[in-house]
Structure 1
Amino acid sequence: MKEREVLLSGRQLTKVFGYGPNKTTAISDVSFDFHEGEIVSIVGESGSGKTTLAKMLMGLLKQTSGTIEYKGKPRRLNRYADRRAYWKDIQAIFQDPFASFNLFHRVEKLLTDCIKLQGLQLSPEMQVRKMKEACSFVNLKYEELYNKYPFELSGGQMQRLMIARIFMLRPKVLIADEPTSMVDACSRSTILDMLLKLRDENKMTIIFITHDVGLAYYVSDTLLIMEKGRVVESGDAERIILNPQHSYTIQLINDVPKIHSAWNLG
């Protein structure tokens, strides 16, 4: 079996906010390798550093020290052209979909911006066809949405619209930060199924940022358990859930009654 390519890697990543006695170390000495088509969950409670790490991976925060490589080469984000090229391949879905869109832009512009990011030169008819196809993939009707503003949509519609963007962009890596936390249980299952379908169709690497150990076990190949800015345990998802080694991992699992009772973890 051919070994999967390492797409995104980090070595000894550290992120410090502030200076002197007021400084806070949000990420401390974190290393990882994320492979093509792999589903990884970075798991931890609020304040564990997982969202800070996600923003560093996206290039929205600069690391204080350490290195991040993409496809085996040091990541370059100094120039706008470099960042644009990187964001063609690395995309994100955040917890609050309304914070991810410009509230003064209609849905049509949000979707046509995806076409522009790809650098595609399409006729107006082809643009509409691509946008309709993306909306259909997430069970939305373009005709009912294209002229609306984000604040006119529900949270579930906005999350689906974010996935429609991912469908259009076809990134190599998707960072999904608590993507189902603001929707009901039925929508949560549907959104996860959509993301997993995209992974299967495009060999997309998905990095879930979550506090939900049950979700992480259900969807992931690999887990990174984070506590206070450090990765305290990492590896195969099933091994970690069935045989956790670190006390913090055991605590997280014990806080999920179904996992705890099903596998009788002490």
Structure 2
Amino acid sequence: MAKNKDVVMSVQGLTKVFKSGILNPEYTVAAKDISFDIEKGKIISLIGESGSGKTTVGKLILKLINPSEGKIIYNGKDISEIKEKEETKQYYRRVQGIFQDPFATFNPLYRVDRVFDLIFDSFDLDYEDKDQAIREALFDVNLNPDRTLGKFPHQLSGGQLQRLLIARALLMDVDVLIADELISMLDASTRIGVLNLLVESCKKHGMAVIFITHDLNLGYYISDHSLIMYKGRLVERGDTKKVYENATHPYTQMLFEAVPEIGERWDPDEEFLPEQVVQDVKEFYQENQGKGFVEIEEEHSVLFSDK
């Protein structure tokens, strides 16, 4: 565990390689040498295009897959050493995930109350009055308990279901919440409400959040720190404002150039060449060979070479 007392989890040199095939196996490096600290009450945006490895990092933290190399330290222990059923249950008591499709999380045959019944049945939650605790958690996420409890999933909107899952995390007093594309399936009018709720819950309860997204605007709006991923590597990381105002890695610069601006119409003649980005990154690494990660300013580091 890192020395900073506010660090609740430390990711150290995390690598995940997937193997496919038996006779002539192929290996895919989904994440390589990922390191960062997760601090209490802070929101980290993990940003990158599809296939960059950000969801793999989330799955590794949630112990849904095992790392090939590296460690995830929680409470002074590498989580890969957590084997016993009771110990695993206690880990999931404090580390939870909310995913992209809220409707896939709920069983359509059961009322939504079941998500609360399950955590009270599975974990030793210290509440004198279970029903009152649930009602208070729902009020915390701006849901009316009388209009929410007893409903089936199809009777609620996607935004309401995501709020229910945040309420579940609050009841469990979660230390680390993995929010993987939390609002990507919600309409625009609902998104801002869920994001504001996440920020408020994070600050009020001291919950740390890993906000996985491909949307730079959302990352800037919500996060204290930003991690930019490209082809399984962290290529730029640090204070969100500094990363956004002084993007240095060629991939990060490309991401910002690709963001449309309000008031400017799309130019149909403008071309985007993915292979040009690959070439720019290659040249950038060759020019800075041997440097590795460099802190270019306080709380802002860039991967200058991948060797």
| TM-score between the two structures when normalised by the length of structure 1 | 0.89
Asked if 1:202 corresponds to 2:202, the answer is no
The residue aligned with 1:18 is 19
Residue 231 of structure 1 deviates from its aligned partner by 0.6
Instruction: Kindly provide the amino acid, as one letter, of the partner of residue 49 in structure 2.
Output: E
Q: Deviations over 1:195-224 (max 9, x none)?
A: 111111111111100001111112211111
- Are the equivalent residues in 1 in contact too, given 2:227–2:234 (CA < 8 A)? yes
Which of 190, 201, 222 is residue 193 of structure 2 equivalent to?
190
Residue equivalent to 1:170: 173
User: CA deviation digits over 1:117-161, x for unaligned, max 9?
Assistant: 4413667xx222122222222232323333233233321221121
Q: Cα–Cα, structure 1 residues 4 and 241, in superposed 2: closer, same or farther, change >3 Å?
A: farther
1:111 and 2:116 correspond: yes
More helix by share: 1
Residues 140 and 167 of structure 2 are in contact (CA less than 8 Å); yes or no, is this contact kept in structure 1?
Answer: yes
Distance in 2 of aligned mates of 1:96 and 1:226: 23
AA in 1 matched with 2:125: L
Residue of structure 2 in register with 1:215 after alignment: 218
Return 141-150 or 234-243, whichever deviates more: 141-150
Residue from 133, 136, 140 that aligns with 1:137:
140
1:1-266 aligned within 5 A: 4-19=5-20, 20-75=24-79, 76-120=81-125, 126-258=129-261
Distance (whole Å) between structure 2 residues aligned to residue 57 and residue 227 of structure 1: 19
Distance 1:249 1:121, change over 3 A: closer
Q: For residue 242 of structure 1, what is the amino acid of its counterpart?
A: E
Larger radius of gyration: 2
Identity, % of aligned positions: 42
d(CA) in 1 for partners of 2:136, 2:173: 13
CA contact (8 A) 1:7 1:72 kept: no
Question: Would the aligned equivalents of 1:115 and 1:168 in 2 still touch at CA under 8 Å?
Answer: no
Residues 158-196 of structure 1 deviation map (CA, whole Å, 9 limit, x = unaligned): 112111212212211111111111112221111111111
Q: How many Å separate the matches in 2 of 1:224 and 1:47?
A: 15
Task: Indicate conservation of the 8 Å contact 1:210/1:216, yes or no.
Answer: yes
Aligned to 1:264: none
Q: C-alpha displacement at 1:4, in angstroms? A: 4.8
Q: In structure 1, what is the Cα distance between the partners aligned to 2:175 and 2:65?
A: 20
Aligned residues: 257
1:30-58 CA distance string (max 9 Å, x none): 11111122211100001111011101111
Q: Distance in 1 between matches of 2:27 and 2:207?
A: 36
Root mean square deviation, CA, Å: 2.1
Q: Displacement of 1:101 after TM fit?
A: 2.7
Displacement of 1:3 in angstroms is 5.2
Q: Secondary structure of 2:119's match?
A: helix
Runs of 5+ in structure 2 lacking a partner? 265-307
Q: Which amino acid aligns with 2:61?
A: L
Contact kept in structure 1, 2:29 and 2:232, CA below 8 Å? yes
State how far apart, in whole Å, the 2-side matches of 1:208 and 1:258 are.
23
**2:125, 2:172 within 8 Å by CA — same for their partners in 1?**
no
SS in structure 1 at match of 2:238: strand
Q: 1: CA distance between counterparts of 2:147 and 2:248?
A: 51
One-letter code aligned to 2:88? R
Q: Partners in 1 of 2:43 and 2:172 — Cα distance?
A: 19
| Aligned residues of 1:59 and 1:77 also touching (Cα < 8 A) | no
- TM-score, normalized by length of structure 2? 0.78
